[in-house]
Chain A
Amino acid sequence: MALLAEGKMPERYQRNFGTVGIAGQIRLLKSKVAVVGAGGLGGTVIELLARLGVGQLRIIDGDTFAVHNLNRQLMSTEHNIGVNKAYAAASRVEVINCDVQAEAIPCMLDEGNAEKLLKGVDVVVDALDNVSTRLLVNRVTKQYGIPLIYAAIAGFTGQVMTIMPGDNGLERIYRQTNAPNQGVETMLGNPAGTPALAASLQVQEVVKVITGIGEPLRNKLLYFDTEMNVFEILTVT
């Protein structure tokens, strides 16, 4: 941070210079991001945010790694099966970037803890795997005016959107879901590239929201289906 204050980019962030820049890097390092879920989406989001130099990461996940996670979840290894995902992710952050403080919250986000865990962070990343908790996160981030970076995946498809305070949010995306708490991912599963792609797009959104660079996917749902080479921006207001 001392070098940045002098207008110099530390070596480890040199390759951020042409995009994030000095001012953006300072903002990233001063930011606190909550990542809800440390599985397929969350694992890649956490890895990339740590490398970017987001100063504080709150990692929320009560689940433990299972063998069937190994095909896609970046934080899972053959050595940490049975280990809590939030703890494993925080350990990974420690060895990537000592500028980043990672706080592991080894429990599921729910009605009872959501406000406490999300209040006060600068950005929330939705890396969940079910609709009901997504809608809970959407409600709490709206209540506290926190930007929410949403993504969901199934098979070769995924969708990403940024919900800023005051925007219509996930109620526009999930309004027609009645009972099911999950989508067609229960049928299609998730191959390795899909969560990595959606998570990378989420990370770009985090950077844009924190640094003010570019144009976030606000009221726009980026939908991709790599099986058929479809990338579409859909208007969701």
Chain B
Amino acid sequence: MVIEVRLYATLRRYRPSIPNGVFTADIPDGISVAELVEKLEIDPAEIHMIMVNGIGREMDGILADGDRIGLFPAVGGG
């Protein structure tokens, strides 16, 4: 299945060839966010918020074809 991944802020450095951090990925059916993160070789400790189709989800959320997954680092400054 094909999904869209959106990396935000510092997570974009995991795909330096894609300046806006937005790309599609062909992944096996029924995998979780955690499994996707592992496949993308992103350190899960850096991921703070997960959005699937604009709605907050957990690492164990199962993905579906066409999903748009946003991965966000922690933001805490003021």
> A residues within 8 A CB of B47?
176
| B10-A153 in contact (CB<8A) | no
CA of A188 to CA of B13, assembled, Å = 13
Chain B residue with the shortest CB-CB distance to A190: B77
Q: Is the interface of B mostly helix, strand, loop or mixed?
A: loop
What is the size, in residues, of chain A's interface with B at 8 Å between Cβ atoms?
Answer: 47
What is the size, in residues, of chain B's interface with A at 8 Å between Cβ atoms?
Answer: 25
Distance (Å) between the CB of B61 and the closest chain A CB? 12
Q: Mark A131-145, 1 if CB is under 8 A from B, else 0.
A: 100100000000000
Residues 214-237 of A contacting B (Cβ, < 8 Å): 223, 225, 228, 230, 232-237
- Determine whether A39 belongs to the interface, using a CB cutoff of 8 Å to chain B: yes
| B48-A176 in contact (CB<8A) | yes
| B10-A187 in contact (CB<8A) | yes
> B residues within 8 A CB of A42?
78
Pick out which of these stretches binds chain B: A51-59, A101-109, A154-162.
A154-162
CA of A152 to CA of B59, assembled, Å = 22
- Determine whether B28 belongs to the interface, using a CB cutoff of 8 Å to chain A: no
Q: How many A-B residue pairs have CB under 8 A?
A: 99
CA of A134 to CA of B74, assembled, Å = 13
| A131-B72 in contact (CB<8A) | no
- Determine whether A169 belongs to the interface, using a CB cutoff of 8 Å to chain B: no
- The answer to whether A41 and B73 touch (CB under 8 A), given A225-B8, A234-B55, is no
| A184-B78 in contact (CB<8A) | no
CA of A134 to CA of B77, assembled, Å = 11
| A154-B49 in contact (CB<8A) | no
| A185-B56 in contact (CB<8A) | no
Chain A residue with the shortest CB-CB distance to B78: A129
- Determine whether A212 belongs to the interface, using a CB cutoff of 8 Å to chain B: no
| A183-B76 in contact (CB<8A) | yes
Chain B residue with the shortest CB-CB distance to A235: B55
Interface residues in chain A, defined as those with a beta carbon under 8 Å from any beta carbon in chain B = 37, 39-42, 126-131, 134, 151-159, 172-174, 176-178, 180-185, 187-188, 190, 195, 223, 225, 228, 230, 232-237
Interface residues in chain B, defined as those with a beta carbon under 8 Å from any beta carbon in chain A = 8-10, 19-21, 45, 47-51, 54-56, 58-59, 70, 72-78
